Amino acid sequence: MNDRDNAVLIQNALHERFGDTFAVDPEMDGLASLANLAGRKVHRNYDGRLVSDDLLRLLCACALSAPSKSDLQQADILILLDPQKRKVIADLIPEMPWVGTAPAFLVFLANARRVPAIAQHRGKPFPNDHLDLFFNATVDAAIALSTFVRAAETAGLGCCPISVIRDHAATISDLLALPDRVIPVAGLCVGWPAGEGLISPRLSLELTLHEDRYDEGDLTAHIDAFDRRRAQTRPYASQREVGRWGEAADYGWSEDKARQYATPQRADFGAFVRSKGFRLD
């Protein structure tokens, strides 16, 4: 694919995602990489091919080459090979069968264990045992996850992040023998795609991109417009909790998210994080 084709691909993908037009200079460098990012698709269905151990190790190395806060290196990756452990996690999340069927499953970990250990090893005080320690480690893990996805998709693989493992954080922590100050941030399904996948629509940049100061404008109008745009390409096949909320005549993204978060989620996560040795004050 030449640069002009990549420029068109970027424009088309971003129009589908944001409902907007973008100027793309076909002479600029890096268009193939930008096309990969702009056209990112979620993949939950995979063909029968395995992902080799060598490729996974290579992609993990690329992921762990990502930026790290102050070079503290507080992200770890756990490749889950044991089929019995995979089954335990898949059984915890039956609404996501791809967790059990993906050729590879990884867990991205926030590791705030090493830095205090280094301080002790070097005979130095560690006065930073507070919320920022947790925050830095989880951000490092999230950056590593994002970088892995980018690397995997460059190699032709498809991915699907699984944040819902945090619904079962304590169980998964015990299953994976995670020590104090090491917690699961997200899982990741990885495999060779069995189809084209889907571009996920995103809120307009008029709402999420700011210059000089935060300005969301007319929030309700932006959300209503996104609901309409998304419904044209990605309508919901079913509605959440009809028994509780009834059938909505106009069911879109905002109604779905409002219903999703009308039920308490991970209310015990703070207690779990504290039980793992983190101080959140």
Torsion sign over Cα 94, 259, 163, 46: positive
DSSP string, 197-218: -BPPP---HHHH--BSB----S
Phi, psi of 185 (to 5 degrees): -95, -45
Residue 138 per-residue DSSP state: H
b/e for 48-66, b at 16 or more Cβ within 10 A? Answer: eeebeeebbeebbebbbeb
CA distance 7 to 33: 11
> Residue 46: what pLDDT?
96
157 burial class (0-12, 13-18, 19+ CB within 10 angstroms)?
buried
Report residues of the chain scoring pLDDT below 70.
none
Torsion of CA 144, 149, 154, 158, to 10 degrees: 160
Nearest alpha carbon to residue 216 among 233, 228, 203, 200:
203
Query: How many alpha carbons lie under 13 Å from residue 86 in its C-beta half-sphere?
Result: 17
**Residue for token pair 């205090």:** 116
CB atoms closer than 10 angstroms to residue 247: 7
Residue 154 host element (H or E): helix 131-154
DSSP bridge partners of 46: 193
> Residue 48: what pLDDT?
84
> Residue 196: what pLDDT?
87
Reported as a single tens digit per residue, the pLDDT across 150-180 is 999 999 999 999 999 999 999 999 999 999 9
> Residue 2: what pLDDT?
86
CA distance 74 to 111: 5
CA distance 121 to 133: 18
Distance from the Cα of residue 161 to its chain's centroid: 5
DSSP bridge partners of 108: 77, 186
> Residue 197: what pLDDT?
85
Domains of the chain plus CATH, in order, are: 3-38 (no CATH), 53-197 (3.40.109.10), 210-281 (no CATH)
The tokens describing 51, both together, are 């992902």
CA distance 31 to 24: 9
Residues whose CB falls within 8 Å of the CB of residue 26, separated by 6 or more in sequence, listed in order: 3, 4, 6, 7
